[in-house]
Amino acid sequence: MSIHVRGISKAFGSFKALDNVSLDVPQGTLLALLGPSGSGKTTLLRIIAGLEWPDSGRIEEDGADITDRHARQREVGFVFQHYALFRHMSVFENIAFGLRVRKAPKQEIEAKVNELLHLVRLDGLGGRKPAQLSGGQRQRVALARALAIRPKILLLDEPFGALDAKVRVELRQWLRRLHDEIGMTSVFVTHDQEEAFELADEVVVMNHGKIEQRGTPDEVFEHPATPFVMDFLGNVNLFHGRVEKGQAFWHGIPIDYPDYPHAQARPARVYLRPHELDIARTNAHAPNGLVTDDSARNDPAGNGSLPASVLRIARSGAIVRISCRPDGAESELHVDLPADTARDLALQPGERVAITPRKVRVFLPDPEYVI
């Protein structure tokens, strides 16, 4: 079942939750709606589920308009953020609920619920009450309950939001395997980019009720379409530079930027990802006594390199983060190196280095303005 969202708008009082949003979710896709809180992602999910009515626009399933179809008839499996398990029912009855209200035969319910309990690996826990389950177990009950009605679409609202870090990672991988097994069109909402990138086939980044970018995790990560996406993905060095005559300038280093051929100089935002920077020692006398001068080695883009001083070196898991201050700059610049590379380089605070970007992203503050 494919979903087509056509020009959906929704306001809560004066707050515009969704502003003319259109989106296609092809059959079998696992799609992530990624964005900060208030970006409209949950509202969009709830509108697809029929739990919220749009002010304007249409929702289609396989080309059929379902905008006016009540949530009860949409046959959508919805996993709520806090699971919304029926507190007074056992796990078994929670999962059976959708079948019971459809007046399914008893044996069929029994068989189906046991099958689902097995699927979500909660065999033997059918008699428990939701309050007697851990967060991860409740999440899986919610999922089984949504799957029991054989939905055409599965929607999940922050499915891992309430879980602790370790459970979250385990459940994520499990959910991905489950999706591959069932192959149902699924949409989930998250504010956690790691979750979106690891789990989804496609990621839709939302902000202020609009879609900023849509693409595979690779596309979104490698080619952020807007400064917002760049900022939201985070872990990035941001500098304010300028553009003129097809070049962007960052601390005097020219970078090719053919999108802006005009002669008039304009301020621009320059983004450098810490792991896309090379760093090399430039001081004649390293503390260990070795003489090095390999600053010329790292200049693959021909963009020149930036002289800087090392401030701090911090180990963070598999990478080492080196904080530097470029000459003449107020702000710091972070460089991430694989631990092995960093150990070989053996930089010390106070040393002089040359930093060379392998990849630079430039955004004009107001793209609308460019003619």
Binding mask 151-190 for another protein (x = CB under 8 A): -----------xxx-xx--xx--x----------------
How far apart are the C-alpha atoms of 269 and 242, rounded to whole Å? 8
Between 70 and 264, CB nearer to another protein: 70
32 is a site residue for another protein (CB under 8 A)? no
Tokens of 182: 């069932």
Is 87 a binding residue for another protein by CB under 8 A? The answer is yes
Verify binding: residue 123, another protein, rule CB under 8 A.
Answer: yes
Nearer to another protein, 170 or 259 (CB): 170
**What's the sign of the alpha-carbon dihedral 213, 195, 92, 52?**
negative
Q: Using CB under 8 A, which of 137, 207, 303, 305 touches another protein?
A: 137
Query: What whole-number distance in Å separates Cα of residue 248 and Cα of residue 256?
Result: 6
DSSP state of 291: B
Asked if residue 92 binds another protein (CB under 8 A), the reply is: no
**Could you tell me which stretch among 76-84, 198-206, 260-268, 303-311 binds another protein (CB under 8 A)?**
76-84
Q: Rule CB under 8 A: is residue 140 a binding residue for another protein?
A: yes
Choose which of 22, 26, 65, 134 interacts with another protein (CB under 8 A): 134
Structure tokens at 258: 């053919």
Supply φ then ψ for residue 64, to 5 degrees: -90, 135
Q: Is 70 in the site for another protein (CB under 8 A)?
A: yes
Apex 368 CA angle, 10 and 215, nearest 5 = 60
- Count the neighbouring beta carbons within 10 Å of the beta carbon of residue 151: 20
End-to-end CA gap in the chain: 41
- Contact call for residue 122 and another protein (CB under 8 A): yes
Residue 198 binds to another protein (criterion: CB under 8 A): no
Q: Is the CB of 12 or the CB of 240 nearer to another protein?
A: 12
What the block records as the tokens of 34 is: 């990624």
CB of 47 to another protein, least distance (A): 10
Contact flag: residue 1 with another protein (CB under 8 A): no
Q: Measured from the CB of residue 251, what is the shortest distance to another protein in angstroms?
A: 41
Burial degree of 179 (CB within 10 A; 0-12, 13-18, 19+)? buried
Rounded to an integer, what distance in angstroms lies between the CA atom of residue 219 and that of residue 205? 12
Q: What are phi and psi of 164, to 5 degrees?
A: -80, 165
Q: Measured from the CB atom, is 163 or 220 closer to another protein?
A: 163
How near is the Cβ of 37 to another protein at its closest, in Å?
Answer: 7
Q: What is the DSSP string of 181-226?
A: HH--EEEEEES-HHHHHHH-SEEEEEETTEEEEEE-HHHHHHS--S
Rounded to the nearest whole angstrom, what is the least distance from the CB of residue 72 to another protein in the complex? 5
Whether 307 and 253 have beta carbons less than 8 Å apart is answered as: no
Residue from the set 6, 128, 208, 242 that interacts with another protein by CB under 8 A? 128
Contact residue for another protein among 17, 141, 196, 253 (CB under 8 A): 17
**Calpha distance 75→71 (Å, rounded):** 8
Under rule CB under 8 A, how many of the chain's residues touch another protein?
A: 65
Smallest separation, CB 25 to another protein (Å)? 18
Would you say 21 or 347 has its CB closer to another protein? 21
Contact flag: residue 97 with another protein (CB under 8 A): yes
Report in angstroms the alpha-carbon separations of 339 from 194, 275, 352. Answer: 21, 12, 20
Which one of the spans 121-129, 202-210, 295-303, 330-338 is the region binding another protein (CB under 8 A)?
Answer: 121-129
In contact, 362 and 257? CB cutoff 8 Å: yes
Using CB under 8 A, which of 132, 216, 235, 348 touches another protein? 132
Q: Which amino acid is at 368?
A: E
Q: Note the residues at the interface with another protein (CB under 8 A).
A: 11-13, 17, 37-38, 42-43, 49-53, 55, 68, 70-78, 80, 82, 84-89, 97-98, 101-102, 120-125, 128, 130-138, 140, 145-146, 148-149, 162-164, 166-167, 170-171, 174
